[in-house]
Amino acid sequence: MNCNGKMIMKRNAFIMKLKEGCAAEYRRRHEQIWPELMNKYSDYGIRDYTIFLDEKTLTLFAVRQVSDDYRGERLSDDELIRQWWDYNAGLMECNADNSPISQTLEEVFHVD
Whether 110 sits among the annotated catalytic residues: the reply is no
Please provide residue 41's backbone torsions phi and psi, each rounded to the nearest 5 degrees. -55, -45
Query: What is the Cα–Cα distance from 83 to 89, expressed in whole angstroms?
Result: 10
Distances (CA, A) of 86 to 40, 53, 77: 16, 20, 14
Of residues 30, 38, 52, 80, which has the active-site annotation?
30
Q: Which residues are catalytic?
A: 30
